[in-house]
Amino acid sequence: MRIENHRLMGVPFQEAQWMGGEIAPEIVVLHDTASRLAPGAAASYLARNDAKVSVHFVVERDGQITQQVPANRAAWHAGKSTWQGRSGCNDFSLGIEMVNAGQMTWASETMARAWWGELLSISLFGIELIETSQHGHGLWMPYPEPQIGAVVSLLEVLFRDIPTLTDITTHWYVSPGRKVDPNPLFPLDHVRARVLGRDDPTDATADAGSIAIRPGRFVQTDTPGDTLNLRRWPSFNPNVIAAIPDATLLPLLRQGVFAGRDWLCVEYGGQQGWVLAAYTADFTV
């Protein structure tokens, strides 16, 4: 992908009804649509609505990207907002909306209720109960790996091709107390580290919460008929970097307990990453 004439080549362009004048974007603001999950539903609303809202890019759960405002024009996505003492972020930012249900409440032990009333299966969507100072208390839907991958790829292109861009932030950061998106399951630190080339604080957290293993110890994957995900860090947030075949022998580097689960840091295919210990077996050489 590349930006050419302020348009992202190779993706659909669905012109938004509402947009402002020319801008030189300095930051990217990430959002959740807090909408129905059907492909195209959020994009259609954002392109044509009576609320006078718009956004530059919409990223579906399957990774499909739609552009709606040229990258040198203002979109109405941030509302009342402030960034490093400057108000009115629409005047110097690009907005990316990720299709997500937003903050939900309990409907039953197995179902979550979205703000518009739709019931969503907690187990099917991997919905989690989380409370943070920025987001408050709620049920939240994780972001599928194709969606996170598409967001990272889009950001990499934007920062490569638009020299005025300097940073990535969120709607909850520029509009604290008013907005809570993206939700607490979005791997913001990891995405910023990937795109901006800065240290990933998640790596430091993983190292601090684990212990090093003496050289020469191995484990073997135990997933008959399936593969085991190698993850960038010990979390179920979208961060898979490889799929390891069953019965693969892996050098063991570190081990630790994260969110109540045993994780192992191993080496596979020249990469270091984390796997769930429950799907491995000790191997003596």
- Burial category of 276 from C-beta neighbours within 10 Å (exposed 0-12, middle 13-18, buried 19 and up): middle
Q: For the chain, 285 residues long, give each residue's pLDDT as a single digit of tens.
A: 899 999 999 999 999 999 999 999 999 999 999 999 999 999 999 999 999 999 999 999 999 999 999 999 999 999 999 998 889 999 999 999 999 999 999 999 999 999 999 999 999 999 999 998 889 999 999 999 899 999 999 999 999 999 999 999 999 999 988 999 999 999 888 888 889 876 555 677 788 889 999 888 999 999 999 999 998 888 776 678 889 999 999 999 999 998 788 999 999 988 889 999 999 998 765
Question: What span, in angstroms and rounded, lies between the C-alpha atoms of 169 and 204?
Answer: 21
Cβ atoms within 10 Å of 186's Cβ, excluding its own: 24
CA distances, 35 to each of 39, 101, 102, 236 (Å): 11, 5, 7, 23
Which pLDDT score, from 0 to 100, does residue 236 have? 74
pTM for this entry = 0.75
Kind plus residue range of the DSSP H or E element containing 42? helix 41-47
Domains and CATH numbers, the chain: 3-196 (3.40.80.10), 206-283 (2.30.30.170)
Give the H or E element holding residue 206. Answer: helix 201-208
- The DSSP-derived string for 150-203 is HHHHHHHHHHHH-TT--EEEEHHHHSTTT---S-TTS-HHHHHHHHH----HHH
Task: Quote the CA–CA distance of 212 and 9 in Å, as a whole number.
Answer: 46
At 199 the pLDDT is 58
> Would you state the structure tokens that stand for residue 255, as one six-digit string?
């081990």
Q: Which strand (E) or helix (H) includes residue 272? A: strand 271-276
- Residue 133's pLDDT is 84
Per the CB < 8 A criterion, the answer to whether 88 and 81 are in contact is yes
Sheet of 27-32: strand order equals 65-67, 57-59, 93-98, 27-32, 167-170
158-162: Cβ within 8 A, 24+ apart = 158/3, 158/28, 158/71, 158/94, 159/195, 159/196, 161/2, 161/3, 162/3, 162/25, 162/71
Would you tell me how many other CB atoms lie within 10 Å of the CB of residue 75? 27
Q: What is the pLDDT of residue 284?
A: 62
